[in-house]
Amino acid sequence: MARVGVFVCSCGANIADFIDVDAVVHETKKIREVELAVNYRYFCSAPGQSLIRDAITAHRLTSIVVAACSPRMHETTFQKAALEAGMNPYLVEIANIREHSSWVHQNDKTKATLKACDLIRMAVAKSTANEKLHEITVPVSDRALVIGGGIAGIQAALDIANARHPVVLVERQSSIGGRMAQLDETFPTLDCSQCILTPKMVEVARNPYIELIPYAEVVELNGFVGNFKVKIKKKPSYVDFSTCTGCGACTQKCPVKVKNEFNLGHDTRKAIYSPFPQAVPSKPVIDPDACLMITKGKCGLCSKVCEKGSIKYDMKEEIVEREIGAVVVATGYDLFDARSYEEYGVGRYKDVITSLEFERMVSASGPTNGVPIRPSDGEIPKSVVFIKCVGSRDESKGYPYCSKICCMYTAKHAMLLHHKVPDSQSFIFYMDIRAAGKGYEEFVKRVQTETGVVYLRGRVGKIYKRGKKLIVRGEDSQIGQAVEVEADLVVLATAIKSFHDSVDLARILGISYDQHGFFSEAHPKLRPVETSKAGIYLAGCSQAPKDIPETVAQASACAAKVCGLLAADVLKKDPLIAKIVRENCSGCRNCIKLCPYQAISTEEIPDGHNSKITRVIAKINEGLCQGCGACVSGCRSTAINLCGATDRQIVNQVNSI
């Protein structure tokens, strides 16, 4: 005979103010299987848990129901309390009378109380059919995969490797470094980006625990937490990295010049090239669209000068596979293409550029050796207008969110311009100044005081040409007037957007993304670096726009999570998964098609007593099954049960109301 204990929590005033808990206890006591029903102010508190433990032993309870908040909040707390009292934790049921009753029916205490009684009655009925279940253990592969070699991926890979777990770092470009490699000095301290980044890049190359796979992409991920199998496509670089010394003789000889993407087309590169001098790995790749040998079968100069014989024009793409336990996604961001702002003349006026172009110009390693110029005539600009929120916070362009970093880097740009061209004048059109961060507000103040930059609060309506100058027409809401500023150069702080193919990667990895294509975290406050798929974590701008300090902190947080996971030889998993009722299974394979996690295969078993005749039935992979229940509802033979939500448990619940 079932002996169920029911613990009705007041949750302070959260439940007790909107539900008559005494009446609920009184009603609950009338249920035949209920041995004990009590109310307490906070069952999640230490004394509350102690009450539960004592009641389980004193009343020899066979299952318990805690009528309280959502199971997402405290189910494990109550399961642990039960376990400490010698009860199997899966004999605990939660009746969510807070989120499902007191919070949503605050205006009708009578009905909220009745609903709480119903929820408890259902939970009691279910609990009488609960079975003792035990955690599942699955082996863990001691290797992490980091996708993306920007500062986020670099930091995560180094932290994991320094804890002596092997890491595979996959980067799409021929070098790691990401956007940070393109930056000059960084706010708020104005330290040189390359100087703080390149030592970390070199550390990646030297770390024996890191396998760096550049010029490559993840094309397939199978398996489950602790046991993923990844397929990585290595693009042909046409250079054998294992023998190439990075001497650069090939690049020097190459006769072909094309636009250099790293400098956003403001200078040229060769057809065989390294993206920037401090690239890691320091090996060139051949651009197959530009190379004369690959496109026309002529030239071959690089091969002739390469003493190591490293040039391989017939190199093909290659797929490599690795077994891994956890994944960090650090694929960064793209920038909004401002050409849709026709009123700003983007693409029409050479002297309207983006902030990243300005960043390359003021960089000592940039196309103009650190000197800001007007692209139209090469002259040094004396009057520069910076426009913030170009795309960002603009619903009409589809980017209603704040890009978070533009306020700060635009202030930085005013400072850099002042350093490079002391007799220049900066104007910044802005909506707000968002400078929340350690030392950020102080930095903006410093820029204002030291450079004399003029901040104009308002949107820019139009940019047009007058002679050699650009006229920027906007409004200054502080004085309530339209203003016109004559500029030599206009710099647009374009919105940070998700990486252009982030949705494709999300599909490959089986993780979710928001309406803007940024990957979604499992919980915005409590699980900010985890995805909802166990074993996959997020770092840097792939999750949302952020600056370098925040990116690095998030990457280290990911690494801590990964190290925690990989430290164990086996992984414990909730047993609330699908189970085949072998005698009922007809082997129709319907469930295999329905399972979104590819967790079902088949096995051959002896048919009845005759061991010579066999039949095929479905088989669940315990590691892969996420307990979603899709297969259960699709099985016509009722041959699958979901542990924790069996047919009997559900029927009991339905009958009880």
Residues that bind ligand SF4 (CB under 6 A): 253-254, 256, 271-272, 286, 291-293, 299-302, 577-578, 580, 585-591, 594-595, 597, 599-600, 617-618, 620, 625-631, 635, 637, 639-640
Q: Which CB sits closer to ligand SF4, 371 or 628?
A: 628
The two counts, helices (H) then strands (E), for the chain are 18, 34
Q: Which of 525, 552, 418, 615 is nearest to 150 (CA)?
A: 552
Beta carbon of residue 284, minimum distance to ligand FAD (angstroms, whole number) = 17
Q: Which ranges of 128-184 does DSSP label H, i.e. alpha helix?
A: 151-162
Q: Which of 110, 21, 9 is nearest to 69 (CA)?
A: 9
Q: Is the backbone peptide bond immediately before 214 cis, with ω within 30 degrees of 0?
A: no
Between residue 197 and residue 226, which ones bind ligand FAD under the rule CB under 6 A?
217
CA–CA separation, 345 and 511 (whole Å): 39
Beta carbon of residue 301, minimum distance to ligand SF4 (angstroms, whole number) = 4
Q: Which CB sits closer to ligand SF4, 24 or 631?
A: 631
- CA-CA distances (angstroms) from residue 199 to 15, 195, 551? 56, 7, 17
Q: Which CB sits closer to ligand FAD, 89 or 148?
A: 148
Residues in the chain: 657
Residue type, 249: A
Between residue 335 and residue 394, which ones bind ligand FAD under the rule CB under 6 A?
355-356, 359
Q: Which CB sits closer to ligand FAD, 49 or 392?
A: 392
CA–CA separation, 119 and 383 (whole Å): 69
Structure tokens at 161: 């490797």
CA–CA separation, 474 and 572 (whole Å): 60
Beta carbon of residue 346, minimum distance to ligand FAD (angstroms, whole number) = 16
Q: Which ranges of 172-299 does DSSP label H, i.e. alpha helix?
A: 193-206, 249-253, 292-296
Q: Which CB sits closer to ligand SF4, 375 or 627?
A: 627
What residues does 213 pair with on adjacent strands?
170
Integer Rg of the chain from CA: 31
Q: Which CB sits closer to ligand FAD, 65 or 176?
A: 176
151 binds ligand FAD (CB under 6 A): yes
Binding partner of residue 591 among ligand SF4, ligand FAD, none, CB cut-off 5 to 8 Å per kind? ligand SF4
Three-state secondary-structure class, residue 522: coil
Count of residues interacting with ligand FAD (CB under 6 A): 37
Q: Which listed range, 146-154, 234-242, 443-451, 466-474, lies at the site for ligand FAD (CB under 6 A)?
A: 146-154
Binding partner of residue 548 among ligand FAD, ligand SF4, none, CB cut-off 5 to 8 Å per kind? ligand FAD
CA–CA separation, 402 and 408 (whole Å): 12
331 binds ligand FAD (CB under 6 A): yes
CA–CA separation, 623 and 223 (whole Å): 8
Q: Which CB sits closer to ligand FAD, 40 or 215?
A: 215
Alpha carbons within 13 angstroms on the beta-carbon side of residue 40 total: 17
Q: Which CB sits closer to ligand SF4, 558 or 640?
A: 640
Binding partner of residue 150 among ligand SF4, ligand FAD, none, CB cut-off 5 to 8 Å per kind? ligand FAD
Q: Which CB sits closer to ligand SF4, 158 or 302?
A: 302
Indicate which single residue of 409, 429, 455, 537 sits in contact with ligand FAD (rule: CB under 6 A).
Answer: 409
Structure tokens at 167: 């890491």
Q: Which of 560, 591, 583, 580 is nearest to 622 (CA)?
A: 580
Indicate which single residue of 89, 226, 332, 366 sits in contact with ligand FAD (rule: CB under 6 A).
Answer: 332
Indicate which single residue of 5, 281, 325, 540 sits in contact with ligand FAD (rule: CB under 6 A).
Answer: 540
Beta carbon of residue 450, minimum distance to ligand FAD (angstroms, whole number) = 17
Structure tokens at 395: 């619903």
CA–CA separation, 220 and 502 (whole Å): 14
* Contacting positions for ligand FAD (CB under 6 A): 147-153, 170-173, 178-180, 183, 186-187, 217, 330-333, 355-356, 359, 405, 409, 412, 499, 505, 540-541, 546-549, 551
